[in-house]
Chains A and B, each alone.
Chain A
């Protein structure tokens, strides 16, 4: 284990309560960092176990239309990585749930991986997932930087991953592993893929790390189905879209919290 252990602890706590961890995703700065702070507060109150904060990027090749639009709004509002780190340190005073930044590599590379790790750690970030940085490419520069600051490097695995690749992620990653439920980009889907349960079971047997499943989950029913087989369920686009659609409403925060609480409740296995 290389991080401070907050991610591992969050998954362990959920397991003790016989539920999967609820892992919501939001795009930082969509539509402003201030709003993101409020939404994260609502998520924490609604029972989020781990919070993923997206770092907006101009060319998000792994994202569907909802997260693309969210990144565009965040960038249009002038969101910068340094601002996101400041937001995390402010959130930290109120929110205990571990926070993972979900980014593309170029903003991190430009910031400087070592400098990023230092600042992220000081802000209270717990882990980093770079969608376009597989363990091979992370090895030289990013992994040592993260480890030196006790941040968890979180990696993706996918239905196309071979056994060798699962092993590479097992060696390089810590905190948890993010299993992409299907080949494709982020976004809501009507149904979960047929083979998901058996794929996740096989993965959990092969790994010592908790396995969270994401990409395509939006309803409490889907979260419940994932919770039966995985250690965590990630919901992204559905929450991003909900917050955007209700952005102008005075009761956005309670509405959003209620939506999140329903998803969180669906993680109970009993």
Chain B
């Protein structure tokens, strides 16, 4: 297969996934990125590093996370079996901790004592604050003030964990603006500080490093599927795509298996018009561009100015996508689709009522798509969904959304 051949060895030495990726950063960050890449390449071959990380993931974070057959949900939908990979049960409540622990250990290995991070939904910020507390690192987390409002529980959690949370007032006051500010901090303090980036975004080596730290999701799921169902793989694997880390983490294990259809779900928001969604593949206004250090698909206007985005879920509300996703989309190996705000909130309720699980609004986008697909498949088919996080942080957003809809209804 074309993608199988192309994908071998991705990214190349320049950090490129086909025509995407690279290192588009100010000169001040170039040598530090080279140093980070060297440190990471050393760590990933270092047995002691791997042992330490595996131990943290198991004894501290609670891996492996279970694979849960959502039978009541599947029955309700009336089609394929839907199986959930329960990253929501990981310590701190989302897959983000897999990566935060990995990079925090690496920060120590590089003899730096401070990390900065961006956060949208607050889950990566909480994971970073947690890993920093555990390893004795100083942490500063940048967060758009719009996101601080809608995810304020996570703001309080970060502060209780000892992190400094800095509100970002510029632009749309969401994830994009938080990354701008984290990069400005990093470029200023790069000698003492590591940028603990939370998704498969940014300049090389971040997209491959974050992917590798999230691979554990798919590797576990593969083993669990075999043990529980005697199957090598699912028919369909579905994950939401903000930057794309939980999706790549799950999909990596199945990329080489052409029988598995891989489906990434973006935020369809309120509609197709620019500014109303965060669908970098399906929505209006996307083109190849460079944002936050990487060449990828970016929502932008005809002048190359970055577009505003909208999603009910803060973690998907971002105008660019990880470069490996852009490359895999081009090869047709991953299909991308979107779920609207309304569909995501409906899926949130459905999962709560059928399975007793409140999913993160990000993950609810994946559930919405899984339900849509499962309906059209036979009972023997198996749909694997990455339930990337839990929904406690989103209660207010969901209630507010439902209230607004009830008021708008005649």
Q: Which A residues fall within an 8 A CB radius of B?
A: 57-62, 64, 68, 75, 80-81, 104-111, 131-134, 136-137, 155-162, 165, 169, 180, 183-185
Contact string, B169-188, partner A, CB cutoff 8 A, digits 1/0? 01100001100100110011
A110 and B29 alpha carbons, distance in the complex (Å): 24
Q: Does B27 contact A (CB under 8 A)?
A: yes
**6 tightest A-B CB contacts, nearest first:** A110-B304, A107-B304, A158-B28, A156-B27, A184-B188, A106-B304
Q: Does B236 contact A (CB under 8 A)?
A: no
Q: Does B97 contact A (CB under 8 A)?
A: no
The answer to whether B290 touches A159, judged by C-beta atoms less than 8 angstroms apart, is: no
A105 CB to closest chain B CB (Å) equals: 5
Q: Which of B210-218, B219-227, B291-299, B362-370 contacts A (4 or more CB under 8 A)?
A: B291-299
Q: Which of B18-26, B86-94, B99-107, B323-331 contacts A (4 or more CB under 8 A)?
A: B18-26
Chain A residue with the shortest CB-CB distance to B302: A110
- List the A side residues contacting B302 at CB < 8 Å: 110
| A107-B304, A134-B30 known; A61+B24 contact, CB < 8 A | no
Q: Does B332 contact A (CB under 8 A)?
A: no
A60 and B24 alpha carbons, distance in the complex (Å): 13
| A133-B24, A158-B28, A161-B27 known; A59+B306 contact, CB < 8 A | yes
10 of the cross-chain contacts (CB-CB < 8 Å) are A59-B180, A106-B300, A109-B289, A109-B290, A134-B24, A156-B28, A158-B28, A158-B30, A161-B27, A184-B28
By secondary structure, the B interface counts as mixed
Q: A59-B177, A61-B183, A136-B22 are in contact. List 15 more A-B contacts (CB 8 A).
A: A58-B306, A59-B291, A60-B180, A62-B184, A62-B187, A64-B184, A81-B303, A105-B24, A106-B306, A110-B302, A131-B26, A155-B27, A157-B27, A158-B28, A159-B28
Q: Which B residues fall within an 8 A CB radius of A?
A: 14, 22-32, 34, 170-171, 176-177, 180, 183-184, 187-191, 287-293, 298, 300, 302-306
- List the B side residues contacting A160 at CB < 8 Å: 27-32, 190-191
The answer to whether A61 touches B26, judged by C-beta atoms less than 8 angstroms apart, is: yes
A159 and B28 alpha carbons, distance in the complex (Å): 7
The answer to whether B27 touches A58, judged by C-beta atoms less than 8 angstroms apart, is: no
A107 and B290 alpha carbons, distance in the complex (Å): 9
A193 CB to closest chain B CB (Å) equals: 12
